[in-house]
């Protein structure tokens, strides 16, 4: 080989370092969410991380989780979450996370969308879970994919009844939820033998693999955006489906995954809110002012991507700090996310919110 000819081995190493070239089929699945979150953090100028506060938050979060004996069992303890460990629960969770987005309202607590179920009025995320449970009690096959694809049986009128409100406000983005159900029903029918179980089993017990299947095959799960001229993956609902399965089945059966550590937190509007309250996230004055004024933030806006990406990276650093202090801890981002979400909802109930959550209306969260 002459001095003018390129070195093929060196070129191959360069391609791999840049993420170019053909993928290694034997390589374990990777969602790329964490590395994209790090890229967002490294290029963020409007959202920053406070490392000292992150260390303090890690101590506080770990101690609180220990005091509450917080674990996967906590998920099933809620009265609305399914208790059985069978196919019906897999279908319920898939339906739940297919529609797990955009519950915030500009109306008061008394006027916002709510679901009456078993003598209680449910709002926010729990309004969706209550609506699904109520529909099943009324013998509507709302968690059956073939039902969603059948527009003669699963009419818009039937779905409006499923998501009927106890107030004058209907569920946000109703048309988009219908579209998600139709799309997913058709894809499961055509590509997964009409079975969510087949979809889950195709991942071969890989959490990252299942996330990638959802993102690659279902457009409504493809939570990807452009930030600084680069495509970044956040994949909130795809990841939370895996985490909910893992929690509901306590890491066994349909919830057994050999790489749960590859799942990040589920970047929505509550996690940045609690991280800011804990001092982990800092906002530039224009962004903070916009959030406090309750002004909407467009989906895909640079500020919104920074909020979500920096939240993922912040919790990753928090997780690492917990493991640095407690190497024996059985902790992952999913469990931390569940805990932080519950903590933020407690603050909301107690009227102890230090800052409102940002308001973005989209199907991604």
Active site residues: 268
The pair of structure tokens assigned to 365 is: 């969260």
- Please, are residues 247 and 83 in contact by the beta-carbon 8 Å criterion? no
Query: What sign for the dihedral angle of Cα 22, 258, 247, 192?
Result: positive
CA gap 142, 94 in Å, rounded: 11
Phi, psi of 49 (to 5 degrees): -110, 140
Please, what is the angle between helix 333-349 and helix 302-325, to 10°?
Answer: 110
Give Cα separations from 282 to 41, 46, 318, 341 (angstroms): 12, 8, 15, 19
* H-only helix segments in 227-281: 236-248, 270-277
The pair of structure tokens assigned to 162 is: 């499923």
The pair of structure tokens assigned to 6 is: 């390129």
Beta strands in the chain (DSSP E): 47-49, 115-117, 120-122, 224-227, 230-233, 281-283
CA gap 14, 183 in Å, rounded: 40
Burial of 128 (0-12, 13-18, 19+ CB in 10 A): buried
CB atoms < 10 A from the CB of 276, how many?
Answer: 24
CA gap 231, 139 in Å, rounded: 43
Query: What sign for the dihedral angle of Cα 22, 28, 33, 36?
Result: negative
């Amino acid at each position: 080989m002459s001095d003018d000819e390129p070195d093929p081995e060196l070129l191959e190493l360069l391609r791999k370092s840049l993420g170019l070239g053909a993928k290694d089929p034997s390589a374990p699945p990777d969602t790329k969410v964490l590395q994209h979150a790090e890229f967002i953090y490294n290029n963020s100028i409007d959202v920053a991380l406070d490392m000292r506060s992150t260390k303090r938050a890690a101590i506080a979060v770990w101690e609180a989780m220990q005091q509450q004996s917080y674990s996967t069992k906590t998920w099933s303890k809620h009265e609305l979450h399914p208790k059985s460990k069978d196919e019906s629960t897999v279908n319920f969770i898939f339906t739940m996370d297919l529609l797990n987005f955009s519950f915030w309202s500009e109306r008061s607590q008394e006027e916002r969308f709510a679901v009456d179920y078993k003598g209680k009025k449910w709002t926010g995320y729990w309004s969706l879970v209550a609506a699904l449970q109520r529909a099943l009690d009324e013998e509507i096959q709302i968690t059956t994919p073939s039902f969603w694809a059948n527009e003669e049986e699963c009419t818009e009128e039937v779905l409006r009844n499923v998501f009927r409100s106890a107030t004058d406000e209907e569920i946000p983005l109703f048309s988009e939820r219908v579209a998600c159900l139709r799309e997913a029903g058709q894809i499961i029918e055509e590509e997964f033998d009409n079975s969510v179980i087949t979809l889950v089993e195709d991942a071969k017990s890989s959490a990252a693999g299942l996330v990638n299947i959802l993102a690659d095959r279902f457009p409504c799960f493809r939570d990807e955006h452009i930030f600084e001229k680069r495509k970044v993956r956040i994949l909130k609902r795809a990841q939370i489906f895996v985490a909910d399965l893992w929690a509901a089945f306590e890491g066994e059966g349909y919830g057994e995954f050999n790489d749960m550590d590859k799942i990040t937190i589920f970047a929505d509007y509550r996690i940045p809110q609690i991280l800011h309250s804990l001092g982990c996230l800092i906002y530039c004055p224009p962004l903070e002012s916009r959030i406090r004024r309750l002004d909407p933030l467009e989906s895909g806006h640079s500020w919104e991507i920074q909020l979500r990406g920096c939240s993922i990276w912040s919790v990753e650093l928090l997780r690492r700090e917990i493991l640095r202090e407690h190497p024996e801890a059985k902790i992952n981002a999913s469990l931390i996310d569940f805990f932080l979400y519950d903590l933020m909802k407690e603050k909301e109930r107690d009227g102890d919110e230090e800052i409102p959550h940002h308001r973005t209306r989209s199907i991604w969260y």
